[in-house]
Amino acid sequence: MKAISTILVASTMLASHALADTATLNGAEIFYTIEGEGTPVMVMHGGLGLDHTYFRPYLDALENVQIIYYDHLGNGRSEHPEDFSELTFERFVADAEALRQHLDLGKIILIGHSYGGFIAQEYAAAHPDALKGLVLANTVPVFDYAPTLSGTDEQMAALGAVFSRPMESDEDFQTNWNIISQMYYHNYDAEIGAELDMNTQYSYQAWNVANGLLATFNTLEKLPMIDVPTLVIGGRHDGITPVEPGTARIAGLLPQAEMVVFENSGHFPFIEEPALHLETLQNWINGLE
């Protein structure tokens, strides 16, 4: 894991080159930060209840691209509304499209990871003409399967807590997330986990809303209509969005899909296999030119 630690040490320098700002979109302040120059790449984070920072610096090293990281409404450094019922898939899609137009990006490459992958699927179905390419990483088209996570008694108790009761505070969510997220890796590194935790601004209210939205989430009929070059990424040891009900099924439904499974990763291939992930993603992006 030394290579990963080296990347983390470089994060402060990489972040210093980024442009951070907020935009008023659909009546709310949305935080975003831009890294690099070139083809615009918009990145949707997962969670919900997390923020964009867990992608960095792992994606920052992509070449000839302008990466737009942002926090969804109610998450991270974006505005937290008084009424979290405003958080819907329709609203997330509308905010992403408003940000694309606000920044005058033209056609973009869209990357959606985990819950961000759910939003990215909905965005691609609604705005296919806005996309040059699509990356769906560690995500699923519908929750009709049982996750295969396993861990210690403490980890399984925390897993039960976050999915069976509302989180009561940001600290409550943070504590439980840092326990269960260890099961999301093939080989968990405590040093990296601590770094990610330190950078994350948690939102327990966003997490609480997220679970309810999944009850009706289903893109099985939409995916065949998304005729956009798509890279579908999975981790062989991903227990929360396993390859067969997720990556493989999505790739089988999309007209222009390329599937890559990272054999030594769980839910975060860009963290566990950073060099291979970066090379894979860079080569795929280059192939779109």
The domain that holds 88 is classified in CATH as 3.40.50.1820
Q: What is the pLDDT of residues 244-278, one digit of tens each?
A: 999 999 999 999 999 999 999 999 999 999 999 99
Closest CA to 74 of 39, 53, 49: 49
How many domains, in total, are found in the chain? 1
The domain containing residue 208 runs over which residues? Answer: 2-286
Rounded to a whole number of angstroms, the distance between the first and last alpha carbons of the chain is: 33
pLDDT at 3: 39
Q: What is the pLDDT of residues 21-70, one digit of tens each?
A: 999 999 999 999 999 999 999 999 999 999 999 999 999 999 999 999 99
pLDDT at 18: 64
Give the DSSP letter string of 234-282: EETT-SSS-TIIIIIHHHHHSTTEEEEEETT-SS-HHHHSHHHHHHHHH
Question: Which residues have CB under 8 Å from 214's CB, separation 6+?
Answer: 118, 143
Question: Which residues have CB under 8 Å from 153's CB, separation 6+?
Answer: none
Q: pTM (2 decimals)?
A: 0.92
Q: What is the pLDDT of residues 224-236, one digit of tens each?
A: 999 999 999 999 9
